[in-house]
Amino acid sequence: METLKLKYPAIANYIGGQFIPFTGKALDVQSPISGEVISTVPLSGSNDLHLAVEKAKAAWPAWAAMPVKERVQVFYRYKTLMEKHLDELSRLVQEENGKTFEEAKAEVEKSIELTEFACSLPQLISGELLEVSRGVECRVDHKPLGIVASIAPFNFPHMVPHWTIPNAIALGNCMILKPSEQVPLSAVKIANMLKEAGLPDGVFNVVNGDREIVEAICDHPDITAVSFVGSTKIAKVVYRRATDNLKRCVALGGAKNHLIVLPDAHPDMTASNVTASMSGCAGQRCMAASAMMAVGEVDHIVQKIAEEAKKIIPGKNLGAVISKAAKERIERYISEAEAAGAKVLVDGRNCIVPGKEDGFYVGPTVIDYVQPDMAIAKEEVFGPVLAIVRTKDLDEALRIENDSTYGNAASVFTQSGGAARQVMERASAGMVGVNIGVPVPREPFSFGGWNESKFGVNDITGKSSIEFWTRLKKTSVKWNPEAKVNWMS
């Protein structure tokens, strides 16, 4: 009876090209915008994973044997389908994640760009060949790994799965996707569209759940590589467990991104970029501005940032945060900073959006005079909150940035090439920006942080991911008996 009332039918796992009705324990899926339960998601177990892996294994030989130029044809068609259904996909992202429609659309557009990159793989993975000795040639080819898994977080239900799906599959692997149990709806659309685009059954599978299924993925003997995106705490668990089981693993973790603002920064450009970075997607981006190092006399810029932040209206151009627990956690960070002496310039606590009273909203928040040792300056808040730390010079700002355990993004705002160069060189972060609030590298450049923001060797997207999703086969060939003796023969 209960399920009849839900807006979306109960989610089913997608295994071997079919949605398999789930009869086990399920979790409610809540829309952060209304607080309403809109669906349920399976808490799958190792049996469900086993079935998915068996289907993937059955599909793999034919998929791996297909030339890459043929495999990417699926992704050309898939990209067209995403473009055709852009609004529909964006609305679903908005509903399950809580971000604004414009943000959701930008997310799906990024999925399209990631798919375009996969379509270019035939141009990028041509191997190498050399006559290494008289009559003997060596060639190197990128070969797929087999069955791989991708574990995703809640903050980009559509884009983060596309960090891995198009590249891993176009490179000849079969995949098991484990979406976040908080946002499982977009994966249903992804599965349907890949099928419509002509992907053979079993090449892509979705197994839903939480901890139990992630552990089963790390332990499954037939899964050869695992990618993970989520918090640092779980990234460590997954990286350790997957590599302990002798799998290849890249695990992206959380972030605390530092924006360094110098007195010569362009005031308007800086204020709008910093504010957009801290408030976009309600601050739930692993690239979001979180701590701003205000170097020297920058009061005029801080004032502009506060003015910009006040223009952001929750429920209009600011989305909801993912859950009640997230709202409470974010507000706790603000209250603790205030109690410890920081000055709240713009206060987003106790935010109620008319007509969406049960939604999980936190208003834009700007806090000045935060001390570097406060929790709000060091830990990932993951909400629309900017903590401003005053520093006397660039060295002090860089010292604080360097001390962070994380290392996803860092940015500097300045008109000085010399100062910008210092930050480019000295920031301890995998992705650095100059006068850019969210320095995400666009394709073909790869995405990945440093320090505790990423565990593993490769980045998760772009050219770097080719190495992650493939292994090299080195072949030596001789056909001419007249060449007689050759190297090592």
Nearer of residues 158 and 178 to ligand NAD, judged by Cβ = 178
Pairing of strands 248-252, 223-229: parallel
Write down the residue that tokens 């991104």 correspond to.
Answer: 257
Size of site (CB under 6 A) for ligand NAD: 27
CB of 295: closest distance to ligand NAD in angstroms? Answer: 25
Q: Which of 31, 167, 180, 411 binds ligand NAD (CB under 6 A)?
A: 180
- Considering only 111-119, 142-150, 226-234, 433-441, which stretch makes contact with ligand NAD by CB under 6 A? 226-234
Nearer of residues 56 and 151 to ligand NAD, judged by Cβ = 151
What are 284's two structure tokens?
């739930």
Q: Which of 280, 276, 344, 346 is nearest to 310 (CA)?
A: 346
**Alpha-carbon separation of residue 437 from 113, 409, 410, 448 (angstroms):** 20, 9, 9, 17
Q: Does 286 bind ligand NAD (CB under 6 A)?
A: yes
Amino acid identity, residue 284? Q
Q: Does 187 bind ligand NAD (CB under 6 A)?
A: no
**Alpha-carbon separation of residue 146 from 51, 69, 149, 200, 423 (angstroms):** 16, 18, 10, 15, 41
User: Can you say whether the dihedral through the CA atoms of 133, 134, 136, 137 is positive or negative?
Assistant: positive
Q: Does 152 bind ligand NAD (CB under 6 A)?
A: yes
CB of 159: closest distance to ligand NAD in angstroms? Answer: 9
Yes or no: say if 408 and 453 are a contact pair by the CB < 8 Å rule. Answer: yes
Print the binding letters for residues 443-462 with ligand NAD: x by CB under 6 A, - otherwise: ------x---x---------
H/E/C letters for each residue in 316-344?
CCECCCCCHHHHHHHHHHHHHHHHCCCEE
CB of 74: closest distance to ligand NAD in angstroms? Answer: 25
The gap between the terminal CA atoms of the chain, to the nearest Å, is: 75
Footprint on residues 370-389 left by ligand NAD (CB under 6 A): 380, 382
Q: Which of 280, 244, 235, 262 is nearest to 407 (CA)?
A: 235
User: Can you say whether the dihedral through the CA atoms of 269, 272, 275, 281 is positive or negative?
Assistant: negative
Q: Which of 214, 223, 410, 420 binds ligand NAD (CB under 6 A)?
A: 214
Q: Which of 42, 166, 253, 319 binds ligand NAD (CB under 6 A)?
A: 253
Q: Which of 263, 278, 277, 273 is nearest to 376 (CA)?
A: 278
Nearer of residues 137 and 219 to ligand NAD, judged by Cβ = 219
Q: Does 234 bind ligand NAD (CB under 6 A)?
A: yes
Distance CA 426, CA 438 (A): 18
Q: Which of 44, 208, 404, 408 binds ligand NAD (CB under 6 A)?
A: 408
User: Closest CB to ligand NAD belongs to which residue?
Assistant: 230
Residues with Cβ within 8 Å of residue 215, at least 6 apart in sequence: 241
Give CA angle at 395 (390, 400), nearest 5°: 60
Q: Does 258 bind ligand NAD (CB under 6 A)?
A: no
- Considering only 57-65, 108-116, 209-217, 478-486, which stretch makes contact with ligand NAD by CB under 6 A? 209-217
Residues with Cβ within 8 Å of residue 220, at least 6 apart in sequence: 46, 49, 50, 53, 149
Q: Which of 98, 153, 348, 383 binds ligand NAD (CB under 6 A)?
A: 153
Q: Does 283 bind ligand NAD (CB under 6 A)?
A: no
- Considering only 128-136, 152-160, 311-319, 332-340, which stretch makes contact with ligand NAD by CB under 6 A? 152-160
Q: Is 249 a catalytic residue?
A: no
Q: Which of 172, 254, 314, 348 binds ligand NAD (CB under 6 A)?
A: 254
Q: Does 181 bind ligand NAD (CB under 6 A)?
A: yes
Q: Does 216 bind ligand NAD (CB under 6 A)?
A: no
CB of 270: closest distance to ligand NAD in angstroms? Answer: 24
Q: Does 252 bind ligand NAD (CB under 6 A)?
A: yes
Task: Please report how many Cα atoms fall inside a 13 Å half-sphere around the Cα of residue 194, on the Cβ side.
Answer: 31
Amino acid identity, residue 477? V
Residues that bind ligand NAD (CB under 6 A): 151-155, 160, 178, 180-181, 210-211, 214, 229-231, 234, 237, 252-255, 286, 380, 382, 408, 449, 453
| Active site positions, annotated | 286
